[in-house]
Chain A
């Protein structure tokens, strides 16, 4: 089982008394794109936000089950959360650049991890912006405030910022829900490229998007993983009736 990124068994999660994940078991392979689909409130966001422990910020959040990344328990007492989050990057639903310059947005993650030499920072900033397909648009304005960029550019900046700290896995929580179709297409293309070097999990509301970008898909409903498998299989021959109803648009 060395060639597994995330190995999750019987994951249960709740906010206060409200249980939102009711025993999720899933295996996610490295260098693949896994799309998680399902109607609002089905728990897919909670699931992805548990993988880098960003949900720890919510005081009432509770979680149980075996949640392993590279054979290590993410929720172990001994886990270094800072290191975990560096290795598992995340891009959020709403673009959230820091109110700093484009350059500083990307340099921030490097600085907090102890990079100080200017040449190194310059190099990584450029490389990250190139990987996120934003370099050509901003290379002359690196000192400009990031908030002046368009929504799509901001989201790609957030991706570049995440890439800069050299993560192994990337979590995308509905990265395109606030973007126009052209920006969405750019991000999808980007995800396609990034697959070569990263393990990617993407939560999306958009089934066409899931079909376009992913290798594997999981369908969440009411806190359960109803179906999981190769994207092609799931969209052409869903095994579960509920999956079929959802992807053919009968509900949700």
Chain B
């Protein structure tokens, strides 16, 4: 009496299989990407030694005198990331603290959607914003600055990342039990003391997770730096001159006329692999931190 008819069972099985297949798609894609990356990277390192890759201070694969040192590109990536984080960490954390501990319901209702719009702007728009608005503006204050530089792209990237840090940190603040705040207030704390000395430390690993994720996002960011930071791999921490990041280099080569299968062509896979390992590592750190944070409050 309670037995399903055959057709129904078949239908349910079919649906399950279908859903399973779709979930496999993303796994296949990931495996495919890693496979292609590894294959081409392996081919690259057959011709260029790891030692050269990590210690040479020049990156000139497209020139006659070829050098394959990742350091200048890495330096460019780190420099833009550093500038971006100098903006995004404080601004993101302060806005998260404001939204979670100070803002009235009404203020939150207005500010949060605006922040979300900031996160929804395409990065190419940010790129041109950096190149055509921020750079000329900065040039007025710093006359010696070049048209392409890491400062303006870093600044704009920082602005772009504020909502990410803000929203993730706010979640972490929000997860701090109300009881801790009450305990703080009951002992005679001011609002600032509760925010800085109770809520922030309690949410610390969650906030760290947000920041690490933001770094990973900045390291992998492409359009802004490709448009506004220049295309000159350079081992420098001077923010006023053109540089090139790892991602910008990949764009440069893949848009150019480098023949497939050549060593020059393979450089982008080596760079891609390097980038992948870096962001993957950062994401794992972020994940672990978040896990740790969740364990504390269960």
Contacts from A to B (Cβ < 8 Å): 52, 54, 57, 59, 82-86, 89-90, 92, 94, 96-100, 108-109, 112-113, 147, 158, 161-162, 165
Q: Please, could you name 27 A-B residue pairs with CB atoms under 8 Å apart, sorted by A?
A: A54-B185, A57-B182, A59-B104, A59-B105, A84-B188, A85-B185, A85-B186, A85-B187, A85-B188, A86-B187, A89-B187, A92-B179, A92-B182, A92-B183, A96-B182, A97-B183, A98-B183, A98-B184, A98-B198, A98-B201, A99-B180, A99-B201, A99-B202, A112-B188, A112-B190, A112-B197, A147-B296
Query: Within the assembled complex, what's the spacing in Å between the Cα atoms of A100 and B202?
Result: 9
Q: How far is the CB of B29 from chain A (nearest CB, A)?
A: 40
A52 touches B180 (CB 8 A): no
Task: Tell me if B193 is interfacial: C-beta within 8 Å of chain A.
Answer: yes
Query: Within the assembled complex, what's the spacing in Å between the Cα atoms of A83 and B188?
Result: 6
Q: How far is the CB of A217 from chain B (nearest CB, A)?
A: 24
Query: Given that A57-B181, A94-B179, A112-B193 are contacting pairs, would A162 and B202 also be in contact in the complex, using a CB cutoff of 8 Å?
Result: no
Query: Within the assembled complex, what's the spacing in Å between the Cα atoms of A162 and B198?
Result: 16
In addition to A85-B188, A99-B296, 9 A-B residue pairs with Cβ atoms within 8 Å of each other are A85-B187, A89-B186, A92-B182, A94-B179, A96-B182, A97-B183, A99-B201, A112-B187, A113-B188
Type the 1/0 row for B100-135, where 1 means its CB is closer than 8 Å to any CB of A.
Answer: 000011000000000000000000000000000000
Q: How far is the CB of A100 from chain B (nearest CB, A)?
A: 7
Q: How far is the CB of B20 from chain A (nearest CB, A)?
A: 41
A165 touches B177 (CB 8 A): no
9 nearest A-B residue pairs (beta carbon) = A96-B179, A86-B188, A109-B187, A90-B186, A85-B188, A82-B188, A96-B183, A112-B193, A99-B202
Query: Within the assembled complex, what's the spacing in Å between the Cα atoms of A113 and B296?
Result: 28
A158 touches B296 (CB 8 A): no
Query: Within the assembled complex, what's the spacing in Å between the Cα atoms of A52 and B179?
Result: 15
Q: How far is the CB of A59 from chain B (nearest CB, A)?
A: 7
A52 touches B105 (CB 8 A): no
Query: Most chain-A CB neighbours within 10 Å: which of B105, B179, B183?
Result: B183
Query: Within the assembled complex, what's the spacing in Å between the Cα atoms of A54 and B185?
Result: 7
Task: Tell me if B189 is interfacial: C-beta within 8 Å of chain A.
Answer: yes
Q: How far is the CB of A99 from chain B (nearest CB, A)?
A: 5
Within residues 142 to 197 of chain B, which ones have a CB less than 8 A from any CB in chain A?
177, 179-190, 193, 197
Query: Given that A59-B104, A112-B193 are contacting pairs, would A96 and B177 also be in contact in the complex, using a CB cutoff of 8 Å?
Result: yes
Closest to A53 in B: B185
Decide if the interface of chain B is mainly helix, strand, loop or mixed. Answer: helix
Query: Within the assembled complex, what's the spacing in Å between the Cα atoms of A57 and B183?
Result: 12
B201 touches A161 (CB 8 A): no
Query: Within the assembled complex, what's the spacing in Å between the Cα atoms of A20 and B195?
Result: 30
B188 touches A165 (CB 8 A): yes
Query: Within the assembled complex, what's the spacing in Å between the Cα atoms of A90 and B184?
Result: 10
Among B179, B187, B190, the residue within 8 A (CB) of A108 is B187
Q: How far is the CB of B281 from chain A (nearest CB, A)?
A: 27
Residues of chain A lying within 8 A (CB to CB) of residue B198: 98, 108
Query: Given that A86-B188, A109-B188 are contacting pairs, would A54 and B182 also be in contact in the complex, using a CB cutoff of 8 Å?
Result: yes
B186 touches A112 (CB 8 A): no
B190 touches A98 (CB 8 A): no
Closest to A97 in B: B183
Residues of chain A lying within 8 A (CB to CB) of residue B185: 54, 57, 85
B181 touches A161 (CB 8 A): no
B190 touches A82 (CB 8 A): yes
Query: Given that A57-B181, A147-B296 are contacting pairs, would A98 and B202 also be in contact in the complex, using a CB cutoff of 8 Å?
Result: yes
Residues of chain B lying within 8 A (CB to CB) of residue A97: 183
Closest to A161 in B: B187
Among B186, B197, B296, the residue within 8 A (CB) of A52 is B186
Residues of chain B lying within 8 A (CB to CB) of residue A92: 179, 182-183, 186
Query: Within the assembled complex, what's the spacing in Å between the Cα atoms of A250 and B117?
Result: 59
